[in-house]
Amino acid sequence: MNPGKVSPKVTSGRSAGSNLHRKLAQSIGNQILSGVYAPGAILPNEADWCRIYGASRTTVREAVKTLTAKGLLKSRTKIGSRVEPRENWNILDRDVLAWHMASMNPQEFFASVQEVRKILEPEIAALAALNRTPQQLRAITEAFEDMRKARPGRSSVVPDVRFHLALLAAANNVLLSPFGIMIEAALTNMFEFTSTHNAEPDMFIPKHEGILKAVARGNANAARKAALSLLTDTDQTIAQVPIKARKARKAKS
Amino acid sequence: MNPGKVSPKVTSGRSAGSNLHRKLAQSIGNQILSGVYAPGAILPNEADWCRIYGASRTTVREAVKTLTAKGLLKSRTKIGSRVEPRENWNILDRDVLAWHMASMNPQEFFASVQEVRKILEPEIAALAALNRTPQQLRAITEAFEDMRKARPGRSSVVPDVRFHLALLAAANNVLLSPFGIMIEAALTNMFEFTSTHNAEPDMFIPKHEGILKAVARGNANAARKAALSLLTDTDQTIAQVPIKARKARKAKS
DNA sequence: AATCCTTATTTGTATGACAATTCGGCATGA
DNA sequence: TCATGCCGAATTGTCATACAAATAAGGATT
């Protein structure tokens, strides 16, 4: 994975980073997330990166700054750049999450996602029921309508995402907003592996409608319950794909 | 070039950004978070920043790249840099959260934090009870012991933070790890405003012990309940404290 | 053995130049 | 009037080079 010339791996060209420093950041980021450089390891220095990618030092440094800002790196004079411990990584950053997904077993990833979603989304729905503004309710409603109108399939994913993001926004707590990225990634990519939107629209729409109605009439408990129900439902759809047990992270003792 | 001509506002010189591009990023970041530049607004261009801070374009660009990586900005040729909508901000980034706190009403901030903590920490405790490794349990235990040993006061905050972070790590779900930053910020700064650690160590220690024991014997429900109890307890402590306006930490230069 | 100093390596900052992108207006034409 | 396409100017993107600053490592001195 380390050819002498241009870009080892410009994988997952999502979100179109046409800029060179962006491409470098993606490439290096992918290598870190995929374990080529483990936490604590010292990365090649700037001059090395210049040679590896055939880019100028300015560009390399901008890429490094980007990764540093996302918590993946830390640079020190005379030492070089060292990979930060995982708990400092900004995993809910759009790019970092993408790199993470690219180097992970999908089932394992969706297991983590669903775990978090089951914790958060019911409470998000409850908060939305309590705190939503009329405008936010309208946004949720519109997303729902578009969802219902859409034919099952790829296109129905978009309003589905919009629905959940609108719900999140309606919870009116900034500290929860980073999860928008996760939800978006989950719904969008789940489509690639499952056929949620094809399989059971008959289940799907009413469940969402249940959330909407509960939020509309400000019933937190009902909203919570409806959201949880949707999630467990999604779980079953996922479960059709062979599930692998959670990997116990190991260390020994 | 222009020595001594540093910045409109190099406030909250936290975490020692000795580097110039870091200082610029902090300064600009603070301005964005405090609303000087609202989402959608177009920032001064690179040449302007150079003049404003008396720094080279290289440095300015690295600062801008940092902010871009944190989701605060987006640069386009011929347009300049535009502030991104809030939902794209990486609010759980260490720096962004600090800037956010610096420009916010403390009560409001702690209200948001507690809301999220009450949602997450009980579930984190429950997950920890189920998924912890022996090593992770030991880390939690050690933090607890240090907490008990410490005299109430500032020093007891450190092991307290360690306790909660160890718990978080023991939940073994990467997607939750960004909240470590939030928990850390909450506990550390809460000390500045409340006297949690002075006021009721008699309450405090047993509550933590309850969580520890539940996690130790793998009882998820008990862990959840204990964690929630600690949180509602903390709520009361906060409520007692008359809020004084936060004093911006000042750095001069 | 301990301390201090020198040196080498690596990141940090500055400068000037040119490339690439694209917005905005202008000209042209239907 | 409106649409289309071209041109020029503003701004970010990339490059090359030079020097400054920090500091780890090893050697010199005591």
Residue A177 and residue A115 in one domain: yes
Domain termination residue (choose one: B88, B115, B132):
B88
Q: How many angstroms away from the CA of B78 is the closest CA of chain A?
A: 15
The last residue of one of the domains, among A88, A116, A139, is A88
User: What is this model's ipTM?
Assistant: 0.89
Residues β-bridged to residue A22: none
Domain match, A54 and A173 both: no
Q: Is residue B98 part of a domain?
A: no
Lowest mean pLDDT among A232-246, B35-49, B185-199: A232-246
Collect all residues with Cβ–Cβ distance below 8 Å to B163 and sequence separation of at least 6.
B140, B143, B144, B147, B208
Count structural domains, chain B: 2
| Short-list B181, B66, B174, CA closest to A103 | B174
Q: Assess whether pLDDT exceeds 80 at residue A192.
A: no
The closest alpha carbon to A72, from A53, A54, A104, A97, belongs to A97
B99 in any annotated domain: no
Query: What residue numbers bound the domain in which A45 lies?
Result: 20-88
Least reliable range by pLDDT among A89-103, A109-123, B202-216, B223-237 = B223-237
CA–CA gap between residue B27 and residue A188 (Å, rounded): 36
Confidence of residue B118 (pLDDT cuts 50, 70, 90): very high
* Interface residue B200 vs chain A (CB under 8 A): no
Residue B28 lies in a domain: yes
Asked whether residue B224 is assigned to any structural domain, the reply reads: yes
Q: What is the DSSP letter of A126?
A: H
Strands A80-83, A73-76: pairing kind: antiparallel
Domain finish residue from A62, A88, A114: A88
Structure tokens given for A44? 């090649």
Same structural domain, B234 and B143: yes
B38 and B71 fall within a common domain: yes
Write b or e for each residue in B67-88: b if 16 or more Cβ atoms lie within 10 A of its Cβ, otherwise e: bbbbbbbebeeeeebbbbeebb
Would you say residue B35 has pLDDT above 70?
Answer: yes
Nearest residue to A167 (alpha-carbon basis) of A231, A91, A107: A231
Residue B155 lies in a domain: yes
All residues of chain B having their beta carbon less than 8 Å from the beta carbon of residue A70 are 69-70, 93
Both tokens assigned to B34:
């405090």
CATH of the domain at A49: 1.10.10.10
Query: Which residue does chain A place closest to B126, by CA atoms?
Result: A119
Interchain contact, B66 vs A67, CB within 8 Å? no
Residue range A137-177, pLDDT digits in tens: 999 999 999 999 987 666 789 999 999 999 999 999 999 99
CB < 8 Å to B91, chain A: 174-175, 177-178
pLDDT, position A197: 57
| Distance, CA of A201 to CA of B71 (rounded, Å) | 35
CATH of the domain at B120: 1.20.120.530
**Better pLDDT: B194 or B208:** B208
Nucleotides of C under 7 A from a protein CB: 8-17, 20-23
Residues 29-58 of A with CB under 8 A from B: 58
DSSP classification of residue B251 = -
Helix A106-131 crosses helix A94-102 at what angle (to 10 degrees)?
Answer: 150
Which of B7 and A206 is assigned the larger pLDDT? A206
Q: Look at residue B94 and tell me if it is in a domain.
A: no
Same domain, B112 and B227: yes
Rounded CA-CA distance B98/B109 in Å is: 11
Report the pLDDT value the prediction gives residue B171, as an integer from 0 to 100. Answer: 98
Residues A121 and A174 in one domain: yes
A78 and A113: one domain?
no
pLDDT of residue B181: 97
Q: Which residue has the higher pLDDT, B3 or B232?
A: B232
B125 touches B227 (CB < 8 A): yes
In a domain, B31, yes or no: yes
CB distance under 7 Å to strand D: residues:
A 19-22, 54-59, 62, 76-79; B 18, 45-47, 57-58, 61, 64, 75-81
**Closest residue by C-alpha to C1' distance, nucleotide D10:** B78
pLDDT score, position A11 = 35
In this predicted structure, the answer to whether residue B13 has a pLDDT above a threshold of 50 is no
Report the 3 state secondary structure along B22-81: HHHHHHHHHHHHCCCCCCCCECCCHHHHHHHHCCCHHHHHHHHHHHHHCCCEEEECCCEE
Measured CA to CA in angstroms, residue A176 lies from A127, A214, B116 at distances of 11, 20, 7
Q: Is A75 helix (H, G, I), strand (E, B) or coil?
A: strand
Q: Are residues B126 and B220 in the same domain?
A: yes
Same domain, B198 and B136: yes
Please write the tens of the pLDDT for every residue from A101-135. Answer: 999 999 899 999 999 999 999 999 999 999 999 99
Q: Which pLDDT does position B234 carry in this prediction?
A: 75
Question: Do A112 and A222 fall within a single domain?
Answer: yes
Residues B40 and B151 in one domain: no
Instruction: Judge if B122 and B226 occupy the same domain.
Output: yes
* Nearest chain B Cα distance for residue A202, angstroms: 31
Kindly tell me the burial class for residue A250, based on how many C-beta atoms sit within 10 Å of its own C-beta (0-12, 13-18, 19 or more). exposed
Q: For residue A2, is it within any domain?
A: no
Measured between CB atoms, does A90 come within 8 Å of chain B?
yes
Q: Express each pLDDT in B85-97 by its tens digit.
A: 999 999 999 999 9
Contact B82, B73 (CB under 8 A): yes
User: Mutate which of B24, B66, B92 to disrupt the A interface (most A C-beta within 10 Å)?
Assistant: B92
- Written as six digits, the tokens of A47 are 């001059």
**pLDDT top residue among A153 and B67:** B67
Q: Note the helical H segments in chain A.
A: 20-33, 46-53, 57-69, 94-102, 106-131, 134-149, 154-170, 179-193, 196-199, 201-216, 220-239
Identify whether the C-beta of residue B188 lies closer than 8 Å to the C-beta of residue B199. Answer: no
Q: Provide the chain A residues 102-141 that lie in CB contact (below 8 A) with chain B.
A: 112-113, 115-116, 119-120, 123, 127
Residue B155: what pLDDT?
Answer: 75
Q: What is the pLDDT of residues A11-67, one digit of tens each?
A: 333 344 589 999 999 999 999 999 999 999 999 999 999 999 999 999 999 999 999
